[in-house]
Structure 1
């Protein structure tokens, strides 16, 4: 099991495991801001401590939680230099950190040097996800098309990234993503429907918004708290306060 997978599990279970996630190594890193993470970890080991998978996972978790991406990247680099075994999710974690710290160009250079057997869908999906916050539409489309060319399965996660991006930059392209999802039999998720509801709400198309909700229910998905909150926001902005109130009854 990779430490990248462990980080993912810890992040998903953070509410249940918060007390157990206390990381002594993370505290050591926080206590020595003037030192490089490499030196802190080396000193920590000299004191008789061991960098186990659970230590790696909890340290990464806490650094991410504090948005200390540069420190997390330094720790990842230390792990790689020390010969810790990496899986695809570990490389994907590095891709995410490099994109956040150094940008997309350096991230692509890093991906080119990942062993071919680990240059999988998760790595490219992570690169795609990092195109979205910087609204880099051409690069996002390039990465998405490269994923298709490489024969990776088209997932709702990747499609959702494009939907979220197009919602902010070019709403006309949303239909193309939906057609692709239908063609490839990619099942929409709650996140997919949330983006579509928001698009309709932003254009004050309340009927269209409600039709999407019905389609979602027909697909066996019920609105969660975030979707109800989004619906309420658009109802209120359209002067439909009673409909907003009915959502919570």
Structure 2
């Protein structure tokens, strides 16, 4: 259940495509972003008619290679020899899906195929992705050799940061610090992502006191901190229960232009701090939620995350009590509150409770049942691979005659 908070955030966000990166284990996914390339070169080898069935595309063929030892390169060559075309955008898209599925060896083969065909112009992100894949498939030494073999114009901020991420993930502090000095000497423009990698490394090896030093250097270089920067910084202070410094950081965050992501990040970190310090874990639920006094929607968000975090800890008894207490408050519940507790019970496979919450929502005199919210909840579970939970939820909602798509 360690990844549950990040899953829950995806489930209960009311936004559409934005995602919160501050709960991920590392910021590498930001550094390895893909880019859309227009007017892409393509390869076409006209031969005999394509003999595949309906829906038989290149991605499907590669994903049917269940064993890593099977060659994705052979699949690509066969695809082309059947008279089909392939673009660098296709390869990037398939590679991204392979990485999501932890099919790193096949993703690396796609990268190698791109490198071997000179008609494809590689981007900075392509080089960075290759470094990450080499680390995962062959180890850090292979990634180092590849990076050092790159021409000077390919040693960009992204490729440097990808190697720094590999060092950080392997907890190679000395190598990471040496590379960081090389990055600074290169005079390349840096973003918060590079600093975040170093901060994450120091957190993982227990050198939390160095995090603030990195933040100070980031500021001295006039680099704007991002939401991940703030949250690693807060975590470093929270780990030593330096709550006064946490409050100072939160004040600094408030001084920035705060969008929805920043607001949610601050709330979840605050709740985590309280949990870590034992102020909520060991308290009686009635002291957390007092049914005889009203609470604001601002406070409701904190309680939503309290539900999430206790669910991640598997504390169903406390979850039951919190939900019962919240329903006795004077504050009107909204769709987000119901979606939050539904997500929590679904993650714990408590389907009887899920049905009860649907009943409560569907019969509420103050809050209309929100079919679109359930649709988003269903889609979110599907997107994170929780297909069985998604189907169980769909069946329960349909049983109550509240259709979902």
Q: CA deviation at 1:240?
A: 3.8
Mapped pair 1:231 → 2:270 = yes
Secondary structure of the residue aligned to 2:85 is coil
Paired residues for 1:41-52 under 5 Å: 41-52=76-87
Gaps of at least 5 residues in structure 2 are 1-30, 37-54, 281-287, 290-297, 303-405
Kept in 1: contact 2:32–2:158 (CA 8 A): no
Which is bigger in relative contact order (C-alpha 8 A, separation at least 6)?
A: 2
Q: CA deviation at 1:96?
A: 1.5
Q: Tell me how far apart the structure 2 counterparts of residues 31 and 111 of structure 1 sit (CA, whole Å).
A: 31
Match of 1:131 in 2: 167
Paired residues for 1:161-240 under 5 Å: 161-169=197-205, 170-221=207-258, 223-240=262-279
Kept in 2: contact 1:160–1:191 (CA 8 A): yes
Match of 2:125 in 1: 89
Which 4+ runs in 1 deviate beyond 4 A?
A: none
Q: 1:6 to 1:46 in 2, by over 3 A?
A: farther
Q: Give TM-score scaled by structure 2 length.
A: 0.53
Mapped pair 1:153 → 2:192 = no
Match of 2:359 in 1: none
Deviations 1:142-189 (Å, cap 9, x if unpaired)? 111111111112321111111111122212222321221232122211
Match of 2:57 in 1: 24
Q: Give TM-score scaled by structure 1 length.
A: 0.83
* Bigger share in helix: 1
Q: 1:100 to 1:76 in 2, by over 3 A?
A: same
Q: Tell me how far apart the structure 1 counterparts of residues 84 and 78 of structure 2 sit (CA, whole Å).
A: 9
Q: Tell me how far apart the structure 1 counterparts of residues 58 and 268 of structure 2 sit (CA, whole Å).
A: 39
Q: Tell me how far apart the structure 1 counterparts of residues 185 and 211 of structure 2 sit (CA, whole Å).
A: 21
Q: 1:86 to 1:224 in 2, by over 3 A?
A: same
Kept in 1: contact 2:203–2:211 (CA 8 A): yes
Paired residues for 1:83-122 under 5 Å: 83=118, 84-122=120-158
Q: How many residues align?
A: 233
Match of 1:16 in 2: none
Secondary structure of the residue aligned to 1:248 is helix
Q: CA deviation at 1:239?
A: 4.2
Deviations 1:48-89 (Å, cap 9, x if unpaired)? 221113321221121111111111001111121232322322
Structure number with larger C-alpha Rg: 2
Q: Tell me how far apart the structure 2 counterparts of residues 68 and 228 of structure 1 sit (CA, whole Å).
A: 35
Question: CA RMSD for the aligned pairs?
Answer: 2.6
Q: CA deviation at 1:194?
A: 0.3
